[in-house]
């Protein structure tokens, strides 16, 4: 059989993004620090053109590159939302980095490289492609955490993230090697076909599945593989924390769906109970430990762990409705997290980091509008109707009840009630405490507009949730 030229059309988004990265890299060499906004503009143009390439793809599911790459509705939805979130992060980060003397083209380049890694993960249809995408994203994120070279805290966080991430990647790779050795294939559909035979349920397959799940759980930040999350969130610059806390969650969802549902679906009797344990632990630890935090970035880190518990609960159902609920929750959480960290960046000024909860005292006196935006994000994270966070949690709970896992649904509600405490504490500080600093907020016009749009989005997406729910249903369906 002769060499077959792969079909490049389905991968035009990755090709466009990689081309844009090269253009930004070369152009940035000739841009002075004073005009670094031009690098941001080029990065945003790259994201827009990549989005055009994503939407211009053919419908249906297409396999190419010898079956190692898939273009389907799920990949299209996840890529578009990834591009949207990354664009929002770049705009939020520009003034923050400029005020701290950190505005270098490398930030945008590392972000674009991480986005390319996410794209590869989202469309991966073989174990090798998945691992390559994971490492491309991870290596860029390690460098982003250490971006502030003058900060020993950032260097420490980057070292922890790198060491723990390398261990998790090695464990996942070991699990993949076990599965490859047992099935004789790297392609997920061929692995699934073999595992539907007599090899399903053997101890070796279950061992490989467990190792793969550890790698996925680490990227999500699920308990007990969560230790890197609070340290990295607090140690990294807020612009980097914003990036890590949003878009990579979409890629982690794709990694989980491709590996567990597509490739290891026959082993669902093994990984579903594991996911339930991870979910309950994440809900418990995330929501309880967040109460004790005084640093808002650490509080949001543990909040992330709690939200990951909901995503894992949806996925653990093993049903189409559960997957749709988990996808909806992942997208919604990324939007809410972007809004929360956007407010933190908005309040941070030159020489001052708004990282402590006490910094939010009396925010309503300084800016009623942006206190209102933070209020919208916080109540959405609690899960109060009619905000979109309520519908995200409701869909997961409905998927659990549909398969008679009422006890898990009750536990999820219980931990959500516990988690409401630390969100309400932020609201109390903004509205009922006296401001320690009465100076007006000094953020740029672009950040103010984007924060406002972000805050209003959590309300509008709740009032008009059906279109996004339909998109998630079509992506999974």
Token pair of 476, please? Answer: 């999974």
Token pair of 380, please? Answer: 């959405």
Gap between the Cα atoms of 224 and 217, Å rounded: 9
Quick: pLDDT tens for 170-203.
Answer: 999 999 999 999 898 999 999 999 888 776 668 8
The answer to whether residues 339 and 263 touch, using CB atoms and an 8 Å cutoff, is no
Quick: pLDDT tens for 283-341.
Answer: 999 999 999 999 999 999 999 999 999 999 999 998 999 999 999 999 999 999 999 99
Residues of the chain with pLDDT under 70: 1-6, 58-59, 199-201, 350-351
Nearest in space to 208 (alpha carbons), one of 191, 232, 224: 191
- Sketch the domain layout of the chain as residue ranges: 9-476
Three-state SS for the chain is: CCCCCCCCHHHHHHHHHHHHHHHHHHHHCCCCHHHCHHHHHHHHHHHHHHHHHHHCCCCCCEEECCCCEEECHHHHHHHHHHHHHHHHHHHHHHHHHHHCCCCCHHHHHHHHHHHHHHHHHHHECEHHHHHHHHHHHHHHHHHHHCCCCCCHHHHHHHHHHHHHHHHHHHHHHHHHHHHHHHHCCCEHHHHHHHHCCCCCCCHHHHHHHHHHHHHHHHHHCCCCCCCHHHHHHHHCCHHHHHHHCCHHHHHHHHHHHHHHHHHCHHHHHHHHHHHHHHHHHHHHHHHHHHCCCCEHHHHHHHHHHHHHHHHHHHHHCCCHHHHHHHHHHHHHHHHHHHHHHHHHHHHCECCECCCEHHHHCCHHHHCHHHHHHHHHHHHHHHCCCCCHHHHHHHHHHHHHHHCCCHHHHHHHHHHHHHHHHHHHHHHHHHHHCCCCCCCCCCCCHHHHHHHHHHHHHHHHHHHCCHHHHHHHHHHHC
CB atoms near residue 72 (< 10 Å): 18
Gap between the Cα atoms of 285 and 117, Å rounded: 30
Gap between the Cα atoms of 142 and 110, Å rounded: 10
Can you give the pTM of this predicted structure?
A: 0.95
**What pLDDT is attached to residue 31?**
86
């Amino acid at each position: 059989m002769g060499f077959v030229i792969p079909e490049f059309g389905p991968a035009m988004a990755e090709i466009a993004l990689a081309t844009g990265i090269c253009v930004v890299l070369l152009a940035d060499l000739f841009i002075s620090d004073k005009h670094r906004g031009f690098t941001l503009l080029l990065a945003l143009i790259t994201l827009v053109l990549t989005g055009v390439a994503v939407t211009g793809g053919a419908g249906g599911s297409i396999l190419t590159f010898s079956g190692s790459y898939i273009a389907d509705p799920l990949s299209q939805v996840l890529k578009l939302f990834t591009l949207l979130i990354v664009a929002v992060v770049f705009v939020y980060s520009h003034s923050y980095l400029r005020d701290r003397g950190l505005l270098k083209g490398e930030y945008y380049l590392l972000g674009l490289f991480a986005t390319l890694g996410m794209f590869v993960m989202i469309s991966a249809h073989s174990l090798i492609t998945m691992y390559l995408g994971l490492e491309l994203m991870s290596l860029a994120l390690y460098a982003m955490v250490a971006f502030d070279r003058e900060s020993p805290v950032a260097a420490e966080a980057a070292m922890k993230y790198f060491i723990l991430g390398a261990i998790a990647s090695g464990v996942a790779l070991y699990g993949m090697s076990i599965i490859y050795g047992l099935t004789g294939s790297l392609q997920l559909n061929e692995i699934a076909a073999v595992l539907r035979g007599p090899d399903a349920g053997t101890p070796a397959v279950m061992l490989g599945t467990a190792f793969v799940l550890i790698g996925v759980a680490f990227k999500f930040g699920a308990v007990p593989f969560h230790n890197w999350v609070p340290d990295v969130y607090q140690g990294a610059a807020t612009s980097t924390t914003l990036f890590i806390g949003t878009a990579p969650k979409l890629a982690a969802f794709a990694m989980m769906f491709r590996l567990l549902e597509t490739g290891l679906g026959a082993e669902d009797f093994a990984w579903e109970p594991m996911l339930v344990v991870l979910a309950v632990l994440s809900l418990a630890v995330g929501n309880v430990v967040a109460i004790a935090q005084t640093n808002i970035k650490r509080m949001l880190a543990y909040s992330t762990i709690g939200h990951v518990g909901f995503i894992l609960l949806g996925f653990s159902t093993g049903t189409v409705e559960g997957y749709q609920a988990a996808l909806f929750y992942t997208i919604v959480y990324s939007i809410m997290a972007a809004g929360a960290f956007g407010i933190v960046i908005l309040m941070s000024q030159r020489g001052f980091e708004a990282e402590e909860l006490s910094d939010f005292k009396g925010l309503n006196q300084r800016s009623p509008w942006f206190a209102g935006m933070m209020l919208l994000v916080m109540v959405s994270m609690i899960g109060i109707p009619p905000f979109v966070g309520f519908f995200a949690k409701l869909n997961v709970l409905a998927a659990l009840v549909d398969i008679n896992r009422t006890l898990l649904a009750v536990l999820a509600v219980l931990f959500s009630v516990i988690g409401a405490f630390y969100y309400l504490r932020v609201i109390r500080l903004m509205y009922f405490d006296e401001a320690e600093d009465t100076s007006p907020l000094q953020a740029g016009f672009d950040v103010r507009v984007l924060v406002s749009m972000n805050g209003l989005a959590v309300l509008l997406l709740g009032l008009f949730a059906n279109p996004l729910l339909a998109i998630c249903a079509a992506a999974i369906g």
